Amino acid sequence: MKYVLIILSAAVLLFIIWPIPSQQLYPTDFCSKQIYDRNGELLRHVLSYDYKTSVWVSLDDIAPAIIKATIIREDKRFLFHQGIDPLALIRATLLNIRRGKIVSGGSSITMQVAKMCLNLKSRGLLSKILETIYALKLDLHLSKPRIMEIYLNRVPYGNQTYGVEAAARFYFRKSASHLSYGESCMLAVIPRAPTLMNPYVNSATVDDEFRRLLHVLMENYLIDSQTHAIASRENINLIERKINFEAPHFVDYVLAGMSDMHLNNATRILSTIDMTLQKDCEAMLKTTLRSLRDYHVTQGAIMVVNARTGEVLAMVGSQDYFNAAEGQVNGCIALRQPGSSIKPFLYALALTAGMSLADFLPDTVIEFRLHDGTNFVPRNYGQRYHGPTRLREALASSFNVPAVYLIEMLGIERFHGFLKQLRFKNLDKGAQHYGLSLSLGAAETTLYELVNAYRAFSSGGAIDELICVHKAYDQNARSINFNIAAEERVLSAEVAYLITDILSDNTGRFKAFGIDNPLNLPFACAVKTGTSKDYRDNWCIGYTTDYIVGVWIGNFSGAPMQGVSGITGAAPLFRDIMLELHQGRCPTQFSCPGTLERRNVCLLTGMLARTSCPHQIEEIFIPGTSPIDSCHEQKRETPVVFTQRGSDATGRSTERLTILNPGDGDIFMIDPQVSTVSQSVIFRLRMSDSSETIRWILDGEPIATEKYPYEFQWQPTRGEHILEAEAGNGGTWANDRVAFTVF
């Protein structure tokens, strides 16, 4: 027995003198995480691993009043004993014997710290012995200030709040360094019985204990009578219990990426989000969805990014995060088909391959043979075709046939690889799986990926990952370095600018959207819409020199909308956001690389325009891609003819007069969501003698007489129509006639 006692004593002594592991004193997973917006507004207080809210601060950042009040309340001989208070233990023992049960533990502050470090849950005799031994160990290795710091940072203050800093913020919305004597005493009475001393539930009990503690402080000469009187009359205002839960989809996204960014030890995170803008976007999305409710539209998503830095300023994942059915689905990272919003990347690849904006592409009915032997016949929106079309117009107006023609010419594998380079990470199947329809947005992607990819245009050809976290700090307020992906150049500055110029050219998209459309903003803005098959998704993504905005409208269930396209669903919301972002100021113009060349070309042939050419326009070229021949040298007055797998797309022409728009058999649709006053069909023709006057005749009735350039803007009416144009000079007449339909 003697030797057993010697061995036990030696083991206890060795345990006491053995160094204390830092993790026991300062657990890295104890502190909760606080996520703020870019201006310091709290977005969410994320509980620690065991559902505790705690913020670690040094003793120097804690008001002396709370330190004094805590010592006098919990362990008034703390500064003098060696970790355990024999008098308190004797008093507690006698009281427990008298009551016949454990009603007091007599634990010193050091013993309570020991219990926290050992994570002991029981209150039995063995636990008390272990606490006592560990308290001796703590007192041997740590100074009194360090023990007090650990205690004040780990002690419970009720309402799942641990630590005095978290408690001060929770109850008073202030730092622990700014606590008054009254507030300090109110907090100091809570740890002994956090449930009973809940100031929101038992305010009278807490008030009695708080006043008793103030009196004890004065009796022990820790405060004077004047301080006591002021603190007694102090009006202590508790902050209304509020759960900060702002920008929920964004915060969820940041939390999910903490490991990838090496931010697991971060306790204070300054994000890039702007809560004022975030709330504006949330409100605008709800307003838009209310207006589209009758068209079977239930959801939407918005992203706003700083075009220069790549910082995410707003992320709205659904119209109501707290909707039990689908609110927590984040539409910004949900996989959907992008439709035509993918086309700018295909055209960028074509320009990189040496094509120019003046090159003609076919826009007519063409059969493309697929690798499985079947034929694919792409259709334009509204079944309208335009014959040979300049590359600029083909992209700006988002015609489908030219896009399919391009991907077959460039190669599906090449475009697929380029999209992967642009960080479309969800293209996990081979190129042939998507086939030619990859050019029309058949592969699924996310709004987040699309917005990031469009940065390749806004930044002049470079791309990296979007930034969601600005700064991060650990529990000791030390800055944490986190992963940021390296920038990669994927396009030349010249190609990036040409795509930007097309997407900001309102005249170029006239054939598809008309002049007065939601994309026609009062400042330089490059923008592209997209609509997936059967109206299941519609998109609008664009940018100025300051911001990139992405909008998705649809249904999380994948159910089709009722005829809502990108131009009628997502585009008006995009416009509202852009106007809000640039309220009171205009963004700068897009910067054109000095290496680009400007040439006048013939609108009809794509060749260099002769001086007297009546159809010349200015176009921009990458050096080495501008045409060499002039239109008079080619003597070509009819549009370019394309041949594709045995099918052709020739344009109609007469010797003197040809109606260019509308085409024979064209079908137009009146948009029900846009005022009819704002919708029009432009009648255009070509004349061999531009000095003549022509007359437009619709359904047998003359409607206008026009001189060059022979354009007339007609407000459409539903029905089948016959349009004629005629000209006469010296008794010689020329005319042309087309039929078209308006739904």
What are the tens digits of pLDDT across the range 670-692? 766 566 666 778 888 877 666 67
Token pair, residue 424, equals: 């479309």
Structural contact between residues 329 and 318, judged by C-beta atoms closer than 8 angstroms? yes
With a cut of 70, list the residues of the chain below it in pLDDT. Answer: 1-19, 22-24, 28-29, 49-52, 92-93, 95-105, 121-123, 632-656, 671-678, 688-691, 729-733
Parts of the chain belonging to CATH 1.10.3810.10: 2-24+57-232
Q: What share of the chain is helix, strand, coil (3-state, %, to 5)?
A: 35, 20, 45
Q: How much is the pLDDT for 638?
A: 40
What are the tens digits of pLDDT across the range 554-582? 999 999 999 888 788 999 999 999 999 99
**Burial environment of residue 595 by CB neighbours within 10 A (0 to 12, 13 to 18, 19 or more):** exposed
DSSP state of 61: G
Parts of the chain belonging to CATH 2.60.40.10: 657-742
- For every residue of 424-437, which 3-state class applies, written as one string? CCCCCCCHHHHHHH
In 3D space, the residue among 570, 503, 582, 574 whose CA is nearest the CA of residue 546 turns out to be 582
What are the tens digits of pLDDT across the range 209-230? 999 999 999 999 999 999 999 9
Distance CA 435, CA 411 (A): 10
Which residues neighbour 550 within 8 Å (Cβ) at sequence distance 6 or greater?
302, 303, 304, 305, 332, 447, 450, 451, 454, 539, 540, 541
Token pair, residue 263, equals: 């931010």
Task: Given CATH 1.10.3810.10, say whether it is the number of domain 2-24+57-232.
Answer: yes
Task: Given CATH 3.30.365.10, say whether it is the number of domain 657-742.
Answer: no
Q: How much is the pLDDT for 17?
A: 66
Q: How much is the pLDDT for 336?
A: 97
Distance CA 706, CA 294 (A): 42
Torsion of CA 340, 342, 346, 351, to 10 degrees: 90
Which amino acid belongs to residue 466? Answer: L
Burial per residue of 698-726, b for 16 or more beta-carbon CB atoms within 10 angstroms, e otherwise:
beeeeebeeeeebebebebeeeebebbbe
DSSP state of 86: H
What are the tens digits of pLDDT across the range 473-502? 987 788 998 877 778 999 999 999 999 999
Q: How much is the pLDDT for 23?
A: 63
Phi, psi of 55 (to 5 degrees): -130, 120
Distance CA 58, CA 654 (A): 88
Q: How much is the pLDDT for 670?
A: 77
